[in-house]
Chain A
């Protein structure tokens, strides 16, 4: 699993979902978070806080979607290895394929439990450690 001291960027246009994600991650032992409401603001945060070590982002957001944000992150050499997980309420396979092609590490379906999010994060950590 990731180091509990890692700084996590939580991206979602809904305050409630950011709160749910942070609460769940806090229960896993993480405690350092940055937040953003869409992909544009997330990109600014990422450049402002270069010590961010993991991104957990919603998919459907105004201005810049999670997928657009992912593509932007992967297009920058500084963040090419940044662990990136997408959250979505829709398990549309075409969308998932597009995200995988764009370089997402994993995705988690909403609604999610503590266990399901933890399992997905562990998979990301394992993949990045390999």
Chain B
């Protein structure tokens, strides 16, 4: 019988670890990991509240697991790691493998980190972007997507490799909308659009990200302007790289809308600051 208890949601597989993580547990972890990897969840959350010791031999299984799931843009997050064990994994150079975090809600739309409403952005404002994103991906990219609950950005989404940024300005507001994709997810979106497989992000792929953002913005803008906003034309910028993080300039944190696809999550970040009164809204 496995010594790992797991809990599973659409977004994450939470794995409860036993007291002592040694080579034997590492082998058992490796055996179970074969099945876990097939799960659609984006995150593997290691719950270590019971764990008191981690032998170096155990690292191998986790490193191998991390390597395997990285191909699918999936991520390990570790919670409730004791200070002592945190020091140990830092000293052993494997902190990035375990990716310890204080609050999984920071990554997975958690309620603890605050809701989009707390940022002054109401549903009336966010919904046009949400529906424009779903419509654009489904109609133009033939990619089925599901919008998940928006949350306030407190941390970087994992493995973002391509980012489209579009500055926004309307009467009474200034801000930006950012489209963030892990590489594997966007390459699949591109494949769905044109039936072409690409292994890496090229100028052609960057152009596609830019155009998708244009369409999303144009669609949302048309909707919002009927509600009294006055959004102007705006040009997107696309950036690529490994594990990108976009830090918005506003005082308030961005609202993140995660979207689920067959290959994992992508994110739309909206940051807005009120600069005056909005007319007729």
Within B183-227, the residues touching A (CB, 8 Å) are: 193-194, 204, 207-208, 210-212, 214-215, 217-219, 221-222, 225
Which residue of chain B is the closest to A88 with respect to CB atoms?
A: B218
State A15–B193 Cα separation when bound (angstroms). Answer: 13
**B135 contacts chain A at the CB level, 8 A cutoff:** yes
Contact present for B204 and A15 (CB under 8 Å): yes
**A46 contacts chain B at the CB level, 8 A cutoff:** no
**B73 contacts chain A at the CB level, 8 A cutoff:** no
**A33 contacts chain B at the CB level, 8 A cutoff:** no
In the complex, which residues of chain A have a beta carbon less than 8 angstroms from the beta carbon of B218?
A: 60, 88-90, 110
- Chain A contact surface mostly: loop
Binary CB contact string for chain A from 1 to 23 against chain B (1 if under 8 A, 0 otherwise): 00000000000001111011001
Among candidates B193, B207, B221, residue contacting A90 with C-beta atoms closer than 8 Å:
B221
Contact present for B139 and A111 (CB under 8 Å): yes
State A15–B210 Cα separation when bound (angstroms). Answer: 10
Contact present for A113 and B210 (CB under 8 Å): no
Min CB distance A4 to B, Å, is: 21
> With A19-B194, A92-B225 as given contacts, are A112 and B211 in contact (CB-CB < 8 Å)?
no
- Chain B contact surface mostly: helix
In the complex, which residues of chain B have a beta carbon less than 8 angstroms from the beta carbon of A15?
A: 204, 207
Min CB distance A27 to B, Å, is: 11
State which size class the interface on A falls in: 10 to 19
**B233 contacts chain A at the CB level, 8 A cutoff:** yes
Interface size on B, residues (CB 8 A): 21
> With A111-B135, A111-B140, A113-B139 as given contacts, are A92 and B222 in contact (CB-CB < 8 Å)?
yes
**A29 contacts chain B at the CB level, 8 A cutoff:** no
Binary CB contact string for chain A from 100 to 122 against chain B (1 if under 8 A, 0 otherwise): 00000000001111000000000
Within B31-72, the residues touching A (CB, 8 Å) are: none
Contact present for B139 and A89 (CB under 8 Å): no
In the complex, which residues of chain B have a beta carbon less than 8 angstroms from the beta carbon of A89?
A: 214-215, 217-219, 221-222
**B136 contacts chain A at the CB level, 8 A cutoff:** yes
Min CB distance B234 to A, Å, is: 10
Q: Which of A16, A91, A110, A112 has the most CB of B within 10 A?
A: A16
A interface vs B, CB < 8 Å?
A: 14-17, 19-20, 23, 60, 88-92, 110-113
Other than A20-B193, A91-B222, A111-B135, give 10 A-B pairs with Cβ distance below 8 A.
A14-B207, A15-B207, A23-B194, A88-B218, A89-B217, A89-B219, A89-B221, A90-B221, A111-B139, A111-B215
Can you list 27 A-B contacts (CB < 8 A)?
A14-B207, A14-B214, A16-B193, A16-B207, A16-B208, A16-B210, A16-B211, A17-B211, A20-B193, A60-B218, A60-B233, A88-B218, A89-B214, A89-B217, A89-B218, A89-B222, A90-B219, A90-B222, A91-B222, A92-B225, A110-B140, A110-B215, A111-B136, A111-B140, A111-B219, A112-B139, A112-B140
